[in-house]
């Protein structure tokens, strides 16, 4: 018996060595080849369309009002879009966990296309406002789900490169929006500012259907296991926090409505404004309590919309704060620069063209900072500090422009500084979430970053507009009749209908009011230092340059901020 051969049991196969702890946190569903190029094109085109829509309408409002005869509701042409666009990003992101990325992206782009057509065919202001609201619903999903797919389609060391591509397309949309809007309003029908979205968005729908795999980003796991069931990484529709989604949506919509309309449609101290703020505040408290309850209850299938771990994650909260505060100088400067030039007699198209340095540097800044972050080991906090300094210097210089006879050429240099700083913030904030949160929450993070940015824009615009309105109203009482004052407050072109002595004095008031509005941004920009402090840690957060490098300072599962 001793001569019989013996066989040792085969050793179990060894697992391939891990290149980093981050590997455990990402789905094995990275894209390559034609799929990667096609998905990148579809997301970039979507970001371009959504961002162009934010700015293109502003230069066409006069033509819209002249055609549809609804001047008393013109503010809602912009507001209805912003309210739904701002309020639904986090909800879209969370729902994409249950419905799947491909289905959610297709539905969002199709909604945007359908109601863009509805806006172009509107026969009344009410129809246009309703269509704009639903167009904003689709736009929110395009941004939120689009960024989520971008996080999941490439490895972490490629994030800066793809963020540079997508943020540059977003900024390009903001760059050409005023130009296209001004050109169409002067030379064609305003309806084309909406109708041009339809064929482009339908092309994106086709690209989404063809290029995004079914079950993405867990399609490879499903294929290996031999079944095509929903991955366990995706949540069941029954686990959705419907109550939390309702509270978040309602609270956000009421808050944004109050911020955008206070001082414009309603007085700040009026009953409608106070009621909106009170109800919104109560709903926010209820939302926080709901999320705390779901996060702390161990035996529940319902997943919170905004996990409580996010609140205790200092780095993630700092990222959201930076995103929110950088939204204010962006939107206020976008409005301020063209208004300055229109006050000096420049037409809508010419005023939009003079905004090119600002938007161009946002695009270049977003691209450059992601190239630097991807190719070097410079910690993001250093680059973000540079962005804050550029913003602060830029808005301080813009606030010094107080000449009522001409606008100095130095304004273009001030735009370059401000735009570069904002571009740095926009470019980095969209790639920071994977470095400071858990991968399973990326869908939520992508929507939250942009939603907070737009919320900050609404807050900054509300505060700046209130300062502007209060100063201008008090000065006009001494200079103009109530009829003249109402005309000038509605459109700056009415200034040139005034007799010469009055016209020059009114221009002086308007120019000084623009400087006051820019001074508001100094506070918003300086407050970004708080966000920088929340991101400070040792070792600092850095992005890996290749698959073998660790992400220094990254929060791993089970850790908070």
Residue 558 per-residue DSSP state: T
Q: Give the pLDDT of residue 249.
A: 81
| 270 shares its domain with 355 | no
Q: Which two structure tokens, joined as six digits, stand for 182?
A: 């001004």
> The domain spanning residue 35 has which CATH number?
1.20.1250.20
Q: Is residue 510 part of a domain?
A: no
Note the Cα 147 to chain centre separation in Å.
10
Q: Which two structure tokens, joined as six digits, stand for 200?
A: 């482009």
Cβ(280)–Cβ(254) below 8 Å: yes
| 246 shares its domain with 274 | yes
pLDDT digits (tens, 9 = 90+) for 482-535: 777 777 766 666 777 777 788 888 888 888 888 888 898 899 999 999 999 998
Cβ(96)–Cβ(107) below 8 Å: no
Say which residues have a Cβ less than 8 Å from residue 393's Cβ, sequence separation at least 6: 417, 421
- Cis, peptide link before residue 217, omega less than 30° from 0: yes
DSSP-assigned letters across all residues of 201-239: HHHHHHHHHHHSPTTTTSHHHHHHHT--SPPTTSPPGGG
Cβ(31)–Cβ(162) below 8 Å: no
pLDDT digits (tens, 9 = 90+) for 121-157: 988 888 998 999 899 999 989 988 888 888 788 887 7
Dihedral sign of CA atoms 35, 40, 41, 43 in order: positive
Q: Is residue 500 part of a domain?
A: no
Q: Which of 140, 101, 169, 36 lies closest to 442, judged by CA? A: 101
266 strand-pairing partners: 262
| 127 shares its domain with 206 | yes
Q: How many domains does the chain have?
A: 3
pLDDT digits (tens, 9 = 90+) for 435-447: 777 656 666 776 7
Q: Give the pLDDT of residue 420.
A: 93
Residue 295 to residues 264, 311, 560: CA-CA distances in angstroms? 39, 11, 14
Residue 493 per-residue DSSP state: G
Single out the residue in 302, 326, 355 at which a domain terminates. 302
Cβ(370)–Cβ(541) below 8 Å: no
Cβ(191)–Cβ(40) below 8 Å: no
Q: Which of 437, 434, 430, 432 lies closest to 453, judged by CA? A: 430
Around Cβ 167, how many Cβ atoms within 10 Å?
27
Q: Give the pLDDT of residue 263.
A: 65
CA pair distance 350, 354, nearest whole angstrom: 6
Structure-derived torsion over alpha carbons of residues 275, 281, 282, 288, reported in degrees to the nearest 10: 160
CA pair distance 109, 96, nearest whole angstrom: 14
Question: What pTM did the predictor assign?
Answer: 0.74
Q: Give the pLDDT of residue 397.
A: 94
Q: Is residue 223 part of a domain?
A: no
Cβ(136)–Cβ(296) below 8 Å: no
pLDDT less than 50: residues of the chain: 1-10, 12-27, 224-233, 547-561
Q: Which two structure tokens, joined as six digits, stand for 199?
A: 């064929």
Identify the three-state secondary structure at position 262. Answer: strand
Cβ(139)–Cβ(111) below 8 Å: no
Q: Which range marks the domain in which residue 173 is found?
A: 23-218
Q: Which of 368, 152, 335, 199 lies closest to 260, judged by CA? A: 335
Single out the residue in 279, 302, 325 at which a domain terminates. 302
Q: Is residue 463 part of a domain?
A: no
262 strand-pairing partners: 266
| 77 shares its domain with 152 | yes
The residue to which tokens 């907070």 are assigned: 452
CA pair distance 486, 473, nearest whole angstrom: 9
Q: Is residue 225 part of a domain?
A: no
CA pair distance 351, 115, nearest whole angstrom: 29
Length of the chain: 561
Q: Which two structure tokens, joined as six digits, stand for 259?
A: 């911020």
| 283 shares its domain with 314 | no
The residue to which tokens 């919309």 are assigned: 305
Q: Which two structure tokens, joined as six digits, stand for 66?
A: 């002249």
| 544 shares its domain with 421 | yes
CA pair distance 11, 302, nearest whole angstrom: 42
| 318 shares its domain with 293 | no
| 167 shares its domain with 282 | no
CA pair distance 378, 376, nearest whole angstrom: 6
| 73 shares its domain with 95 | yes
| 296 shares its domain with 429 | no
Q: Give the pLDDT of residue 285.
A: 94
Q: Give the pLDDT of residue 337.
A: 85
| 284 shares its domain with 145 | no
Single out the residue in 285, 302, 319 at which a domain terminates. 302
* Radius of gyration of the chain, Cα coordinates, nearest whole angstrom: 25
Q: Is residue 61 part of a domain?
A: yes
CA pair distance 400, 408, nearest whole angstrom: 11
Tally the C-alpha atoms within 13 A of residue 233's C-alpha that lie toward its C-beta: 23
Q: What angle do CA 70, 76, 80 make, to 5 degrees?
A: 140
CA pair distance 200, 110, nearest whole angstrom: 11
Where is 358: in which H helix or E strand?
A: helix 356-375
| 211 shares its domain with 279 | no
Structure-derived torsion over alpha carbons of residues 371, 372, 374, 376, reported in degrees to the nearest 10: 150
Identify the three-state secondary structure at position 513. Answer: helix
Residue 306 per-residue DSSP state: S
Kindly report the three-state secondary structure assignment for every residue of 387-454: HHHHHHHHHHHHCCCCCCCCCCCHHHHHHHHHHHHHHHHHHHHCCCHHHHCCHHHHHHHHHHHHHHHH
Q: Is residue 515 part of a domain?
A: no
């Amino acid at each position: 018996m001793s001569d019989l051969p013996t066989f040792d049991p085969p050793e179990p196969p060894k697992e391939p060595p891990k290149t980093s702890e981050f590997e455990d946190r990402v789905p094995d569903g990275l894209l390559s080849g034609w799929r990667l190029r096609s998905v990148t094109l579809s997301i970039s085109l979507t970001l371009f369309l959504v961002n162009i829509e934010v700015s293109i309408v502003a230069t066409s409002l006069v033509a819209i009002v002249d055609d549809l005869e609804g001047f008393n509701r013109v503010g809602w042409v912009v507001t209805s879009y912003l309210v739904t666009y701002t309020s639904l990003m986090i909800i879209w992101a969370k729902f994409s966990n249950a419905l799947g990325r491909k289905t959610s992206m297709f539905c969002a782009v199709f909604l945007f296309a359908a109601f863009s057509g509805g806006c172009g065919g509107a026969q009344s202001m009410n129809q246009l406002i309703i269509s704009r609201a639903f167009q904003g619903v689709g736009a929110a999903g395009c941004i939120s789900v689009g960024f989520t797919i971008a996080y999941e389609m490439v490895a972490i060391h490629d994030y800066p490169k793809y963020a540079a591509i997508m943020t540059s397309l977003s900024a390009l949309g903001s760059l050409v929006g005023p130009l296209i809007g001004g050109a169409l309003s002067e030379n064609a029908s305003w309806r084309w500012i909406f109708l041009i979205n339809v064929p482009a968005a339908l092309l994106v729908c086709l690209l989404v259907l063809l290029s995004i795999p079914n079950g993405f980003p867990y399609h490879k796991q499903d294929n290996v296991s031999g079944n095509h069931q929903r991955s366990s990484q995706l949540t069941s529709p029954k686990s959705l926090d419907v109550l939390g989604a309702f509270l978040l949506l309602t609270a956000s919509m009421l808050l944004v409505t109050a911020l955008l309309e206070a001082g414009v449609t309603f007085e700040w101290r009026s009953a409608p404004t106070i009621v909106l703020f009170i109800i919104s505040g109560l709903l926010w408290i209820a939302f926080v309590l709901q999320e705390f309850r779901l996060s702390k209850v161990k035996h529940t299938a319902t997943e919170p919309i905004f996990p409580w771990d996010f609140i205790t994650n200092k780095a993630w909260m700092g990222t959201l704060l930076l995103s929110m505060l950088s939204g204010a100088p962006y939107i206020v400067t976008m409005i301020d620069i063209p208004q300055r030039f229109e006050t000096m007699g420049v037409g809508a198209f010419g005023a939009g063209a003079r905004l090119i340095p600002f938007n161009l540097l946002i695009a270049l800044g977003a691209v450059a900072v992601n190239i630097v972050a991807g190719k070097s080991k410079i910690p993001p906090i250093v680059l973000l500090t540079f962005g804050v300094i550029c913003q602060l210097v830029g808005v301080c210089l813009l606030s010094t422009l107080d000449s009522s006879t001409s606008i100095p050429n130095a304004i273009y240099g001030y735009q370059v500084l401000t735009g570069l700083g904002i571009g740095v913030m926009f470019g980095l904030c969209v790639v920071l979430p994977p470095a400071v949160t858990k991968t399973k929450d990326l869908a939520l993070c992508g929507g939250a970053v942009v939603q907070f940015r737009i919320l900050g824009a609404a807050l900054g615009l509300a505060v700046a507009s209130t300062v502007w309105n209060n100063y201008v109203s008090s000065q006009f009482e001494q200079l103009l009749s109530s009829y003249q004052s109402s005309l000038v407050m509605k459109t700056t072109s009415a200034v040139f209908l005034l007799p010469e002595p009055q016209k020059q004095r009114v221009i002086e008031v308007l120019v000084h009011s623009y400087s006051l509005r820019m001074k508001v941004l100094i506070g918003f920009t300086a407050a970004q230092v708080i966000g920088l402090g929340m991101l400070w840690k040792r070792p600092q957060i850095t992005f890996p340059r290749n698959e073998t490098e660790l992400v220094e300072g990254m929060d791993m599962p089970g850790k908070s901020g």
